[in-house]
Structure 1
């Protein structure tokens, strides 16, 4: 299911990227699914899937309303196959297994329990199923799985407050706990400021502010998110490079950017991998954490993002190690977990080239 544009195997002058310890901070619950899992769930529940969800090619749409509609239609079709607790547990377990295989020692997976609530008795049991399986998967794989509860810009801000209160009741920083509160979906929809009360509820509970911003819209939208939601990390944020002063602010305030190159290309923000401003962001001093976003649709997993940084953007192994360190430091893991993973990065870069 890897994107054909990338490879996770070691190159002639590079260490194996699957052995590089890293943290994965931008992965959506439904979008994390393996294609074969989606096909199995569709068969289980008698759901007919669009062929685009089952072919080998990554999604490619224009960065406009029509393109987003196609992306959302496919995402909704996949989500419609998740209809019971076993389905939900399988998704969490397999996401942890896939991350563990790619060197990710910390996964912070994002979920909106509203979508699955009708099948399991409400938003509270929906979230508790995810949290319970996150604990089990953490123990089974060795990859810590924590959860980000995210609201949608497509829904009323009052629903976001309900989700924030639910998230607050499960706040913590360990495996199977809620570490942050997010805001996802089409950046062009909704009024950012109206979601501020929900983020205030989350912050009072000690949860990190983790909204999306600066992918489909440019610097002005990033400014709105900064002023209204006070993010600790910003989902995507790549368009901040269009305003050097804004980029300097993000770097100075150490607001990490969850950069997902495959997403940027698939959603038409940039025409090809080489146009993703990864080098610009890093050279400006921004803290960057590479993420896969929705591998189900973009056909590109976490290690593929590091492979793209190496092959397309010319990052050396030392620079890739720094990207991994940035992801670990930007995570919401406990200090002991961070220290363990950072020590692993040091060991990776110290080993001889293959």
Structure 2
């Protein structure tokens, strides 16, 4: 009988705040604020959607998160859902820009997030959009540095990477690098392997969100392996967009020494939690391989050292070693 994937300890390193919402919560908040329900984006095999359909759904859901209490509820429920799937540590990536209008400032959003995360096994990573003005990205990076002592762990770039130029964000990433924070840009989703390389070499990425197009260039694969830059791979996020499918490239990446961590991205949009991501990977990985991926997710995380050790010990127990 296959080992229970829910019992496998793991970390979720790529999860967006709004996209982590339960559908029922999204519906309740929309009704509370007299907003329209989420537009349907059916996820069907072989059906490819454009980015705009998903962005519209995400924007509609995000408009219903309007208070610190809303943020606290979403964070708490995200941790609960992850915990039910064996996740012992979650990292939420949040662009505070979209919530600042309701809470009053970027800083107020960050403070609400940190209050919500207190005493939970969750870390906060701030992000700007690839489509943002680089000066705005620098402002968010400075806020990340300011709140690092309170619990902000890093800085990233989210959204469609085709909307910005990597070089334009070097100053923002330099700020967080000097503060010793994690640098976790989305890269190599639509853009080719060159984009992953630039994010590693120019931005000093410590992890890459997605990054599967790296497989197109052996030298980029070698770079990731040499520098041990983990890819945050979200298997169910790729088929709806018609981009590089995870199961087909996972074995090659792992064989070449690239650290891979599975993550959920936006369960609200794609309808799949962490166990579902591991079930997809199980098509091409043995249980030992899945355990290695889980261990990578823990090691590449910003979790406290004691928690990391406990999760890694649990992974070995899951394998029966």
CA distance in 2: counterparts of 1:284 and 1:242, whole angstroms: 13
Q: Deviation at 1:274?
A: 4.5
| Paired residues for 1:65-144 under 5 Å | 67-136=50-119, 138=120, 144=121
Q: Does residue 286 of structure 1 match 2:274? A: no
Q: Does residue 166 of structure 1 match 2:143? A: yes
CA distance in 1: counterparts of 2:106 and 2:47, whole angstroms: 32
Runs of 4+ in 1 over 6 A off after TM superposition: 58-61
Q: Deviation at 1:61?
A: 6.5
| Contact preservation (8 Å) 2:128, 2:140 | yes
Query: Structure 2 vs 1, CA of residues 22 and 219 (structure 1 numbering), >3 Å: closer, same or farther?
Result: same
| Contact preservation (8 Å) 1:21, 1:104 | yes
2:224 counterpart SS class = helix
1:250 counterpart SS class = helix
Q: Deviation at 1:97?
A: 0.4
Query: Structure 2 vs 1, CA of residues 213 and 114 (structure 1 numbering), >3 Å: closer, same or farther?
Result: same
| Paired residues for 1:238-277 under 5 Å | 238-270=212-244, 274-275=247-248, 277=249
1:181 counterpart SS class = strand
TM-score of the superposition, structure 1-length normalised?
0.87
Partner of 1:193: 167
2:122 counterpart SS class = strand
CA distance in 1: counterparts of 2:15 and 2:218, whole angstroms: 28
CA distance in 1: counterparts of 2:116 and 2:67, whole angstroms: 13
Let me know the Cα RMSD of the aligned residues: 1.8
| Contact preservation (8 Å) 2:48, 2:239 | no
| Contact preservation (8 Å) 2:107, 2:143 | yes
Q: Deviations over 1:212-257 (max 9, x none)?
A: 1011111111122122201000111111011112101101110001
| Paired residues for 1:5-84 under 5 Å | 13-52=1-40, 57=43, 62=48, 67-84=50-67
TM-score of the superposition, structure 2-length normalised?
0.95
2:12 counterpart SS class = strand
Q: Deviation at 1:335?
A: 2.1
CA distance in 2: counterparts of 1:213 and 1:51, whole angstroms: 27
Partner of 2:128: 151
CA distance in 1: counterparts of 2:252 and 2:304, whole angstroms: 30
CA distance in 1: counterparts of 2:218 and 2:130, whole angstroms: 27
Q: Structure 2: where are the runs of 5+ without partners?
A: none
1:188 counterpart SS class = helix
1:223 counterpart SS class = helix
